[in-house]
Amino acid sequence: MQAGLVQRAFEVEDRLTFRQDYFSDLTAFEALAALLQEMFGIDIRSALGLAGLDKTTMPFGYFDTDGRCVANFSVFSVPLMVEGRRVIAAAYQSGAVRPEYRGQGLYRDLMRRAFTHARTTGHEADILMTHKPGLYEPYGLRQVRLFGFRGPAPASHPQTASGRKISIDNEGDVALIAGMLDRREPVSRRFAVRGMKEFFLLNALWQKDETTLTHLPGLDAVIAWKAAEGRLVICDIVAPAMPALSEICAGLGGGFSEVETRFSPDLLQWLQAHPVADPHIYLMVSAALTKQLSMAPVGFTPLAEF
Ligand SMILES: CC(C)(COP(=O)(O)OP(=O)(O)OC[C@H]1O[C@@H](n2cnc3c(N)ncnc32)[C@H](O)[C@@H]1OP(=O)(O)O)[C@@H](O)C(=O)NCCC(=O)NCCS
């Protein structure tokens, strides 16, 4: 680093307080919520009315003398299923710096702290989602292309009872989904998250205008889905054992000509799917995972986005 930059970094840090693991301080949490609302237009306080915040989250942030959070980068633990193997990865989110503090190394400092924390707490891999992959390449993260999986709908299973539409705005329905998330099987053995209850519920709330949740009691499953031009798009399935796609189609009312899953459909007894590129966001992972996830196409459920 050049001498001038070192000087500037010291000046910034003089006026700022570094804090980590600060969520027990509600005022500091609110300050982060305000930063993320302004930067990304999202309200993380909504999580408090659902299952709360993910308990493993470790935020790293800088606060100014007025208590404003001016920069943040958080890390949390995400249990994954990769090629049938359980992997505990460190995932990163809530990364932002207020415009007037950018270009002074604050984010670099926070990234380094979070990556070091992930290593010292025994995470074997890293994963994040971003629109700015160049930010994380210097730290060894690499892009993995994501896919949806499309194919003709299977004939509906005649004995499947139809489901009930449920709502993320209904307390009883939230309790039902939360209970099912506690005992869910990963939606794919190829690549999927295990658990991540808090993220599923928050994403369900944020995506409620475009995604329908249907409880299929006969299959002991909740399906997150949407329909477009006769095509059924299955975003996620919460179930202790994956039902067959033909049963799901019947439970959702049938009549679909084509199906797309946003995750690898290896557990759905559906052999006719082909991958279609899903370019809407970059998944980035550390070296060992890059190799495994690049061997064949993978998807990632929007209900686990972070
Ligand atoms: C992206 C952002 C966090 C960078 O913050 P910052 O404090 O200006 O970053 P720093 O000064 O610490 O720079 C850190 C490094 O990232 C690089 N960098 C900064 N912005 C970048 C971008 N948009 N793309 C790629 N690299 C970038 C810098 O060149 C620097 O590299 P170096 O360590 O090799 O010198 C900030 O611009 C921001 O909040 N943007 C809006 C929200 C956002 O996009 N967040 C990231 C979500 S994944």
Whether the CB of 135 sits within 6 Å of ligand 1: yes
Backbone angles phi, psi at 3, to 5 degrees: -55, -45
Residue 180 domain-assigned? Answer: yes
- For the CA of 128, the closest atom of ligand 1 is 48
Protein residue whose Cα sits closest to atom 26 of ligand 1: 135
Same structural domain, 173 and 83: no
Strands 191-193 vs 69-82: parallel, antiparallel or unpaired? antiparallel
Does the pLDDT value for residue 1 go beyond 50? no
Within 8 A by CB and 6+ apart from 305, the residues are 129, 199, 203, 281
Protein residue whose Cα sits closest to atom 4 of ligand 1: 107
Same structural domain, 192 and 295: yes
Digit-coded pLDDT (tens) for 53-111: 999 999 999 999 999 999 999 999 999 999 999 999 999 999 999 999 999 999 999 99
Q: Give the CATH number, domain containing residue 36.
A: 3.40.630.30
- Compute, in angstroms, the gap from residue 123 CA to the centroid of ligand 1: 24
Whether the CB of 39 sits within 6 Å of ligand 1: yes
Q: Give the CATH number, domain containing residue 193.
A: 3.40.630
pLDDT at 157: 73
Protein residue whose Cα sits closest to atom 34 of ligand 1: 138
Same structural domain, 295 and 179: yes
Does the pLDDT value for residue 2 go beyond 50? no
Whether the CB of 205 sits within 6 Å of ligand 1: no
Question: What is the average per-residue pLDDT within 236-242?
Answer: 98
Rg of the chain's alpha carbons, rounded to an integer?
21
- For the CA of 96, the closest atom of ligand 1 is 39
- For the CA of 101, the closest atom of ligand 1 is 7
Whether the CB of 104 sits within 6 Å of ligand 1: yes
* Residue in 1, 36, 92, 102 to alter for ligand 1 test, most ligand atoms within 8 A of Cβ: 102
Using alpha carbons only, give the angle 298, 215, 279 rounded to the nearest 5 degrees. 25
- Compute, in angstroms, the gap from residue 115 CA to the centroid of ligand 1: 15
Same structural domain, 79 and 206: no
> Distance between CA atoms of 242 and 230, rounded to whole angstroms?
23
Digit-coded pLDDT (tens) for 125-150: 999 999 999 999 999 999 999 999 99
Digit-coded pLDDT (tens) for 144-173: 999 999 999 998 777 777 899 999 999 999
Number of domains in the chain: 2
Distances (CA, A) of 225 to 43, 44, 83, 123, 215: 23, 23, 25, 32, 11
- Compute, in angstroms, the gap from residue 148 CA to the centroid of ligand 1: 30
Same structural domain, 95 and 163: no
Digit-coded pLDDT (tens) for 204-214: 999 999 999 99
Same structural domain, 185 and 296: yes
Question: What is the average per-residue pLDDT within 260-289?
Answer: 92
Digit-coded pLDDT (tens) for 5-47: 455 555 566 799 999 999 999 999 999 999 999 999 999 999 9
Question: What is the average per-residue pLDDT within 230-243?
Answer: 96
Identify the CA nearest to 261 among candidates 234, 229, 239.
234
- Compute, in angstroms, the gap from residue 102 CA to the centroid of ligand 1: 7
> Distance between CA atoms of 212 and 165, rounded to whole angstroms?
7
Q: Which domain holds residue 185?
A: 148-279+291-304
The model carries a pTM of 0.92
DSSP assignments along the chain, one per residue? --HHHHHHHHHHHHH-EEEES-TTSHHHHHHHHHHHHHHHS--GGGGGGTT-S-TT-EEEEEE-TTS-EEEEEEEEEEEEEETTEEEEEEEEEEEEE-GGGTTSSHHHHHHHHHHHHHHHTT--EEEEEES-GGGTGGGT-EEE-BEEEEEEPPPPPTTPPP-EEE-TTSHHHHHHHHHHHHTPPPS-SSEEES--HHHHHHHHHHTTTT-EEEEEGGGTEEEEEEEETTEEEEEEEE-SSPPPHHHHHHHTTS--SEEEESS--TTSS----EEEE-TTSEEEE-HHHHHHHTSS-B---GGG--
Same structural domain, 109 and 158: no
